[in-house]
Amino acid sequence: MSDYEKLTPSSETRGDGEFVKRLQGQFGTGVQGGTHVHKDWWAKTLSYDDVMQKVQVDIDNREDIMIPAKNIIFNMNKDNQLCITHPRGSQFVPTDWAMQQLSTRMSAPSASALREMRNQPEYDKQDGELMVDYCNNYFRRVTKKNPDKEFRLRTYNDGTCRAFVTDKYTPVDNRWYLEALKEFLPDARYSHWKGDEDTIFGNLLLPDSIMDYGQDDDTDYGGMVSISNCEIGKRRISQYPSIFRAICMNGCIWGQQKGKDVNKVHRGTIDLDALKVALAENIEFQLSILPDGIRKFLDTRSKEFDPTVTSHKGMVAAVANEFRLDKRLATNTLEQYVKHEFAHNNLFGVINSLTRAGQNFDSQTWVNVDTIGGNLMQMSASKWHNLQAKAQSMTDKDFDKAFALTA
């Protein structure tokens, strides 16, 4: 794809994209060719322009500063806040994330050590002085070993340091990534957006892949690309295939064949032209595997359990045990099952309950949950049998371990 032409689904994967476009601005449930489609998913998605506005906040007030270790000096500002002083006199107060990067760099007792010290209610000048001494002592040792070792400060002109990384960190601009995606898939919409001015994190929904897959259901299914990039070192550049269930906005991420994924760290030399080719090839590959992924997801309906023998509560507890879900997530999953999926006595119901619950948590939990959903989707018959056996053997003690409240 050297010319980066518009990527569109093939005749095999293409749904009724024109119908989807006509849904813009409409609500409720419509019927097209006997297929029930929830139209209000459109209102819950974002356009490229919407997302571009989010990542361009204060774009003109950002600056990268390269500074050698020998010139890095920490002190306190007038508010007793730890700050990094540039040789020119500028001072930069690290964000919580930059504080965490500093803690990690200096092998502090925990990655959150400096952040937690600064944010404690009793924080005072003495705490600030302690942090200043700790940081200056670390960089004094670094300077002895390699005085010219450089660090990159990603800053705002208001005196905020949004990231503290080494000279090996290579930024990939969020605007560049969005423009590349728009070039490949101009009709796509962003769903499950959990990004901010520094981070792209969400799903790229492919409207023309949404179609009726011949199921006796009240919704359609389609494909998404789960994407991420971050300008401050939180996330890699990544793209994974995902499934979209229109009625509940659920997602489900599953793995790809080796060599077809994009999962690149911001380190060393990054050839943007080569990266653009890799992104395009990745999306093209994902379009080709979407129908099979959706069919695998729908096939989980055939992995059934008898609710008179295996309870819904037992199934959720078994999944919580298998994938080490925390109590709040497990409890919310059971609540979603009872409220929305109770009629589905099968793996399909388990997955949808879990991925519904994931939408109620932070971004990392959400993507972890969707990935677990993808693992469940590909569960073999023997593993499904073993999971049922675990569910049937659950005791009250097991339920207490699995759930935050008796459910």
In a domain, 207, yes or no: yes
pLDDT at 23: 33
Structural element, H or E, at residue 401: helix 396-402
Task: Find residue 91's DSSP bridge partners.
Answer: 85
pLDDT tens profile 62-93:
999 999 999 999 999 999 999 999 888 899 99
In a domain, 389, yes or no: yes
Cβ-contact 203, 227 below 8 angstroms: yes
Predicted confidence at residue 75, as pLDDT, reads 94
Three-state DSSP class for residue 217: coil
Q: What is the side-by-side strand order in the sheet with 150-156? A: 62-68, 150-156, 160-166, 91-94, 82-85, 73-76
Is there a single domain that holds both residue 112 and residue 156?
yes
d(CA 288, CA 274): 21
Task: Clarify whether residues 284 and 330 are in a common domain.
Answer: no
The pLDDT value recorded for residue 96 is: 95
Q: So what's the pLDDT on residue 163?
A: 97
- Specify whether 124 is located in the same domain as 268: no
Number of domains in the chain: 3
Q: Tell me, what amino acid is at 171?
A: P
Residues 209 and 280 in one domain: yes
Measured CA to CA in angstroms, residue 320 lies from 71, 193, 354 at distances of 50, 26, 10
Asked if the structure places residue 305 within a domain, the reply is: no
> 154 and 232: one domain?
no
250 and 103 part of one domain: no
Mean pLDDT check: name the lowest of 259-263, 300-304, 312-316: 259-263
The span from the CA of 188 to the CA of 51, in Å, is 12
* Residues 269 and 330 reside in one and the same domain: no
What per-residue confidence (pLDDT) applies to 384?
Answer: 96
Using CA atoms, how far apart are residues 225 and 203, in angstroms rounded to an integer? Answer: 6
Structural element, H or E, at residue 352: helix 347-358
Q: Do residues 218 and 162 both lie within one domain?
A: no
pLDDT tens per residue across span 272-312: 999 999 898 888 887 777 778 888 888 999 999 999 999 99
For residues 235 and 324, state if they share a domain.
no
Answer whether residue 90 is part of any domain: yes
The upper half-sphere exposure of residue 204, i.e. CA atoms within 13 Å in the direction of its Cβ, equals 25
Query: Is 299 within the bounds of a domain?
Result: no
Residues 185 and 88 in one domain: no
Among residues 213, 222, 219, the alpha carbon closest in space to that of 38 is found at 219
Query: pLDDT, tens digit, for every residue of 355-400?
Result: 989 988 888 898 889 889 989 998 999 999 999 999 999 999 999 9
Q: Is residue 66 part of a domain?
A: yes
Give 30 or 297, the one with higher predicted confidence: 297
Q: What is the residue-averaged pLDDT of the chain?
A: 83
Question: Is residue 52 in a domain?
Answer: no
pLDDT at 260 over 50: yes
**Could you give the C-alpha distances from 246 to 49, 212, 221, 348, in angstroms and in order?**
22, 11, 6, 15
Domain end, chosen from 230, 256, 288, is at: 288
Q: Report which DSSP code applies to 326.
A: -
Residue that has been written with the tokens 């019927």 in this structure: 31
Domain assignment of residue 78, given as a range: 60-166
Domain assignment present for residue 293? The answer is no
230's enclosing H/E stretch is strand 221-230
Long-range contacts of 381-390 (CB under 8 A, 24+ apart): 381/303, 384/303, 384/347, 387/315, 387/318, 387/319, 387/322, 388/305, 388/310, 388/315, 388/318, 390/318, 390/321, 390/322
**pLDDT greater than 70 at residue 19:** no
> Residue 32 pLDDT > 50, yes or no?
no
Name the nearest CA neighbour of 168 among 74, 270, 94. Answer: 270
Provide mean pLDDT across the span 6-18: 38
Residues 32 and 73 in one domain: no
Residues 64 and 162 in one domain: yes
Q: pLDDT-based confidence at 9, cuts 50/70/90?
A: very low
Using 50, 70 and 90 to split pLDDT, how confident is the model at 10? very low
- Residues near 254 by beta carbon (within 8 Å), at least 6 away in sequence: 240, 241, 242, 243, 293, 296, 374, 375, 377, 378
pTM over 0.85: no
**In 3D, which of 179, 183, 186 has the Cα closest to residue 21?**
186
